[in-house]
Amino acid sequence: MSVSAIDTRYAGPLNAVFDEENKLKSWLEVETALAYAHEALGHVPKDTAIDISIAADSVKLERVKEIEKEIDHDLMAMVRALTEQCPPGAGAYVHLGATSYDIEDTATALVFRKALAQISTGLSSLLSALLSQARKHRDTVCIGRTHGQHAVPLTYGLKFSVWACEVERHRERIGHARKHISVGKMSGAVGTMATFGDDAFELQDLVMKRLGLSAAPATTQIIQRDRHAEVISLLALIACTCEKIAKEVRNLQRTEIMELAEPFGMKQVGSSTMPHKRNPHKSERVCSLARVVRANAATALENIALEHERDLTNSANERIIFPESFILTDYILTQTKSIVSGLEFFPENIARDLEMTHGLVMAERIMLLLAGKGMGRQEAHELLRESSREAVAKKKNLKDVLLADARIGRLVKPGELEAAFRAETYIGKAPEIVDRVLKRLEEPLDIGRAGKKRSAKKR
C-alpha cells in the first residue's frame, strides 16, 4: 500500500521514469555500455558484451531485492543478479573496474535527461495556454494593483504576457540544465580512474558515447552535486512561477473582487458544509505543492558540500527529492495549464473595479496632463494628492473635484478633462507589448497566428 501522494494523487508519466524498475533498467544499461567499452579496447574476451547485454534483459527486480536483503547494498545486489544471469565466462567481467557511483550517477543522468524532456513538454503546454489567453484578452482593460491597492489601468493580455515570458525563460534554462546534467563518469573510487588502466579516458569516452552522454572532465567518487542542485533549483523556479500565477488567480477570485475564477465543474463540490462555496482549490494546491519543491531545492544545495572525495549524506535524501521534485513539478505544470485554459472571466466585475475608486486611479494621468500644459510636475502631483484626499473625504468623484478647481480650469477644458478619465485610453503600449510577445513566442510553438498561416499554406 502506497504512503506517498506522488504515487497516487499526484502521480503522472514521470512516476514510470523514477520507479525502481526503470532505475534498475538504467543501471543495467550503464553496465552493458561498460562491457562494450571493455571489449572494444580488448580488455575482455570477444562476445562478452553481448552476453552481458542479453543477461541484463533477464535480471528481475525481485531477485535484486532478495540479494539486497542479504548484503545491504542495492548496487552490488544488481551486480550479483546480473552475474547470475550471465554465462560463466562473461559473468566474471560484470562491473569490471567500476565503483558503485560510476554506475549510479551515470544512470541518474539518463533518468534526469528523460525527466527534463517531460518538464519541457509541460512548459510548452503552459506557454501555449498563456499565449492563447494573452491574445484573447489583449484589449481587456482592468485595474492594476500595487501593494494590494488600485494603481492604474492595464490589460489582462499584459498579465498573461508577463507570465508567458517567464515560462519561456524556464524553457531556455532547461537547455542549459540538460547540458550540465547529461554527464557520466567511469573514474573509480576517488576519481583517479586507476582501476581502468592506461586507456581509461578512451574507455570512459566509449561508455558515454554509447549512452549519449558527455564525460565529466573531473570527478571524485561522484558526479559533483552542483549539477543536480541546478536541476532541482530550476524545478523550484518553475514551481514558483506556477505559484505566482495560481496566487493571482486566488486573489482575483476573492468574493469581493471576482474578476475571474478557476474552472469549476458542474457537479464539483466546494465545501462539505457550505453548498454555495466555489473555492479555488486547484490554485491552492499548486501553491501548496510549490512549497515542497522549493524546500527540496534547499536540500539539493546542502548536498553540494560533501566531505573529502564523498560521503553518503546525499544518497538517502536524493531517493526522495529527485523523484518528488520532478513528479510534483510535472503535476504543478499540468494543473496550472488546466487552470489557465479554463479561466472564467466576469466582465461586469472587471468594469466595476475600474470605477470603484471614483476616478482616483486616473490621478497619474491628470498630473501628467497638467504638467504638459505648463504646470510644474511637483505642483501637479501635490494638487492631485490634495484633490484625491478631498474626493475620498467628501465621497465625490475625483473628476468633479477637479472640475471645481480654478487652477485646473485655467489649463484644461472640461471636455479634455472628461476624456482623460476614460480608463481604456490610458493603457499605454499594453496591446502592442502583447503583440510583440505573441510574435516572439508563438512561432516557435507553432500556435496562434503563426500556426494558422502555416496551416493555410498547406491547404
pLDDT(204) > 70: yes
How many domains does the chain fold into? 3
Write the DSSP symbol of residue 264: -
| 448 occurs within a structural domain | no
Contact (CB, 8 A) for 39 and 52: no
Q: SS3 of 401, please?
A: helix
Q: Among the three residues 332, 352, 372, which one is the final residue of a domain in this structure? A: 352
Q: Are 379 and 296 part of one and the same domain?
A: no
Instruction: Answer yes or no: 281 catalytic.
Output: no
Confidence of residue 221 (pLDDT cuts 50, 70, 90): very high
pLDDT > 70 in the chain, percent:
96
| pLDDT at position 446 | 59
Domain stop point among 31, 60, 91: 91
244 within some domain = yes
Q: Which domain holds residue 244?
A: 100-261+278-352
State what percent of residues in the chain have pLDDT above 90. Answer: 90
**Pairwise CA distance, residues 26 & 193, whole Å:** 22
| Nearest residue to 56 via CA among 94, 89, 88 | 94
* Structural domain ending residue among the three candidates 42, 74, 91: 91
Question: Which tens digit of pLDDT belongs to each residue from 288-340?
Answer: 999 999 999 999 999 999 999 999 999 999 999 999 999 999 999 999 999 99
63 and 176 belong to one structural domain? no
Q: By C-alpha distance, which of 226, 250, 232 is closest to 294?
A: 232
Catalytic member of 4, 73, 176, 271:
271
Residues 235 and 346 placed together within one structural domain of the fold: yes
Interval 354-391: pLDDT, tens: 999 999 999 999 999 999 999 999 999 999 999 999 99
The answer as to whether 444 is a domain residue is: no
Q: Within a domain: residue 455? A: no
| Domain assignment of residue 291, yes or no | yes
If asked whether residues 229 and 136 sit together in one domain, one would say yes
pTM of the predicted structure, to 2 decimals = 0.92
- pLDDT for 458 equals 43
Does 253 fall in a domain? yes
Phi, psi at 216, each rounded to 5°: -60, 130
User: How many other CB atoms sit within 10 Å of the CB of residue 84?
Assistant: 14
Instruction: Give the model's pLDDT for residue 457.
Output: 45
- Looking at 342-376, list the stretches that DSSP marks H as alpha helix, in order from N- to C-terminal side: 347-355, 363-372
d(CA 267, CA 287): 24
Please indicate, yes or no, whether residues 150 and 201 belong to a single structural domain of this protein. yes
Same domain, 74 and 105: no
Query: Same domain for 171 and 312?
Result: yes
Tens of pLDDT, residue by residue over 74-89, are 999 999 999 999 998 9
Does 428 fall in a domain? no
Are 310 and 378 in the same domain? no
Whether 272 is a known active-site residue: answer: no
Task: Give the Cα separation of 367 and 381 in Å (integer).
Answer: 6
- Residue 70 identity: E
Is residue 323 domain-shared with residue 200, that is, in the same domain?
yes
Please state at what angle helix 448-458 crosses helix 430-445, rounded to 10 degrees: 50
- 123 and 248 inside one domain: yes
Q: What number of other Cβ atoms are within 10 A of residue 436's Cβ?
A: 12
d(CA 316, CA 303): 11
Asked if the model's pLDDT at residue 459 lies above 70, the reply is no
CATH code assigned at 414: 1.10.40.30
Asked if residues 116 and 230 have their Cβ atoms less than 8 Å apart, the reply is: no
Of the candidates 2, 147, 276, 308, the residue annotated as catalytic is: 147
DSSP state for residue 143 in the 8-state scheme: E
- The pLDDT of residue 268 is above 90: no
Helix, strand or coil, per DSSP, at residue 254: coil
CA distances from 91 to 49, 63, 67, 74, 84 (A): 10, 16, 16, 18, 7
Residue type, 320: I
Q: Give 383's Cβ-side CA count (13 Å radius).
A: 24
Domain match, 230 and 319 both: yes
Q: Is the pLDDT of residue 455 over 50?
A: no
Q: Do the domain assignments include residue 453?
A: no
pLDDT at 450 over 50: no
What residues have CB less than 8 Å from 171, skipping those under 6 apart? 120, 123, 124, 127
Neighbouring residues of 303: CB distance < 8 A, sequence distance ≥ 6: 225, 228, 229, 313, 314, 317, 318
What pLDDT was estimated at residue 403? 93
- C-alpha 225/C-alpha 300 separation (Å) is 8
Mean pLDDT of 275-283: 89
pLDDT at 452 over 80: no
- DSSP secondary structure string for all residues of 179-234: HHH-EE---TTTSS-GGG-TTHHHHHHHHHHHHT-EEPSS-SSS--THHHHHHHHH
Please write the tens of the pLDDT for every residue from 119-157: 999 999 999 999 999 999 999 999 999 999 999 999 999
Q: What are phi and psi of 188, to 5 degrees?
A: 80, -165
Closest CA to 125 of 247, 12, 293: 12
- The CATH number of whichever domain residue 40 belongs to comes to 1.10.275.10
- For residue 120, what is the domain's CATH number? 1.20.200.10
Q: In the chain, count H helices and then E strands.
A: 20, 6
Mean pLDDT of the chain: 94
Residues 35, 132 within the same domain: no
> Contacts from 190-195 at CB under 8 Å and sequence distance 24+?
190/220, 190/221, 190/309, 191/218, 191/219, 191/220, 191/221, 191/309, 195/97, 195/98, 195/99
Question: CA 206 → CA 41, 178, 185, distances in Å?
Answer: 9, 20, 11
